[in-house]
């Protein structure tokens, strides 16, 4: 990976020697975040759920040394505790956590069975809200005992505008925003700062089929830029919130949606 063209060069290697855990860190937004931190001198542990081969390929692209992989399902409370302990052991501590792992199954009420509806809610909340809450808890306990840290949660535009095709996703991200702000208040006295980034559509492999399909032009036209965000633009917001000097932005939720949705 050549960091010379990184959009995050303005941070001037300010994360050197920081130890960073990124969930869902081996593809899409997570890989962009992992790469951005590595380009700034941080040591990164990328948490992945299932595809080890793809995770190993992603790990090999990170600049610098000492990076590692951790396999865990964030929906599994026991696995979360083990993963945080493994990250602390592999990295020699933990300064920054980015909660990026998430799912978003479609389950519109008009066409879903009751069984499908229940399953979508259970799996989505377990992965997108309860899992990050458990990660925050385990990471914060370590950070409080070791001088503080940063937790950045990846939310969504859907938390504010609603998600009619996948309401559990929108609700989970709204809950994640509330969790972010609750923890920002609770943990600030312990020098643990918590914030969130809320992207709209992002140009990742998960969105590729939709963006290349018949709805692609309409999706891009939602923004006055007539495009969707690049993963590196989301990573840039994450790095700002994790940087020294951003402490008073704890509790902040930064929109990265190209003015496709404006909230008051």
CATH of the domain at 151: 3.40.50.720
Q: Is 3 a member of any domain?
A: no
Q: Is 81 a member of any domain?
A: yes
User: Which strand (E) or helix (H) includes residue 45?
Assistant: strand 43-48
Domain that holds residue 224: 13-256
Phi, psi of 244 (to 5 degrees): -65, 135
Which pLDDT score is estimated for 10? 75
Nearest partner of 123 among 99, 104, 138, 98, judged by Cα: 104
Q: Is 85 a member of any domain?
A: yes
Q: Give the separation between CA 198 and CA 257, rounded to whole angstroms.
A: 8
From first to last of its 264 residues, the chain has per-residue pLDDT tens of 668 655 556 788 889 999 999 999 999 999 999 999 999 999 999 999 999 999 999 999 999 999 999 999 999 999 999 999 999 999 999 999 999 999 999 999 999 999 999 999 999 999 999 999 999 999 999 999 999 999 999 999 999 999 999 999 999 999 999 999 999 999 999 999 999 999 999 999 889 999 999 999 999 999 999 999 999 999 999 999 999 999 999 999 999 999 999 998
| Residue 169 is among the residues annotated as catalytic for this protein | yes
Helix (H, G, I), strand (E, B) or coil at 28: helix
> What is the tally of structural domains in the chain?
1
pLDDT digits (tens, 9 = 90+) for 90-112: 999 999 999 999 999 999 999 99
Which pLDDT score is estimated for 5? 59
Alpha-carbon distances of 88 from 80, 94, 140, 167, rounded to whole Å: 12, 6, 12, 35
Cα–chain center distance at 198: 9
Q: Is 98 a member of any domain?
A: yes
Which pLDDT score is estimated for 11? 86
- Of the candidates 106, 114, 169, 261, the residue annotated as catalytic is 169
Which pLDDT score is estimated for 12? 81
Q: Is 5 a member of any domain?
A: no
Q: Is 264 a member of any domain?
A: no
Q: Is 191 a member of any domain?
A: yes
8 Å CB contact between 169 and 130: no
Please report which residue ranges of the chain form alpha helices under DSSP H: 28-39, 52-61, 77-91, 114-125, 131-145, 158-161, 167-187, 205-212, 216-220, 231-242
Which pLDDT score is estimated for 58? 98
Which pLDDT score is estimated for 8? 59
Compute the half-sphere exposure of residue 80: CA atoms within 13 Å on the CB side of its CA. 23
For tokens 């380009």, name the residue. 39
């Amino acid at each position: 990976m050549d960091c010379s063209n990184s959009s995050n060069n303005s941070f001037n290697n300010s994360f050197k020697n920081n130890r960073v855990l990124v969930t869902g860190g081996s593809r899409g937004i997570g890989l962009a975040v992992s790469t951005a931190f590595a380009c700034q001198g941080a040591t990164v542990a990328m948490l992945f759920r299932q595809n080890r081969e793809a995770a190993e390929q992603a790990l090999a692209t990170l600049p610098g040394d000492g990076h590692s992989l951790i396999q865990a399902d964030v929906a599994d409370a026991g696995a979360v505790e083990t993963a945080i302990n493994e990250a602390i052991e592999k990295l020699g501590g933990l300064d920054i956590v980015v909660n990026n792992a998430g799912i978003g199954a479609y389950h519109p009420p008009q066409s879903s069975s009751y069984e499908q509806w229940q399953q979508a809610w259970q799996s989505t909340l377990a992965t997108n809200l309860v899992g990050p809450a458990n990660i925050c808890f385990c990471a914060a306990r370590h950070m409080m005992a070791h001088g503080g840290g940063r937790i950045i949660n990846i939310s969504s535009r859907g938390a504010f505008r609603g998600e009619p095709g996948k309401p559990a996703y929108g609700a989970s991200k709204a809950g994640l925003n509330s969790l972010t702000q609750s923890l920002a208040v609770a943990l600030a006295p312990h020098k643990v700062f918590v914030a969130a980034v809320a992207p709209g559509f992002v140009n990742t492999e998960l969105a590729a089929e939709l963006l290349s399909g018949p709805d692609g032009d309409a999706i891009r036209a939602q923004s006055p830029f007539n495009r969707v965000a690049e993963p590196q633009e989301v990573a840039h917001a994450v790095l700002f919130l994790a940087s020294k000097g951003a402490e008073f932005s704890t509790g902040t939720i930064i929109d990265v949606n190209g003015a496709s949705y404006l909230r008051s």
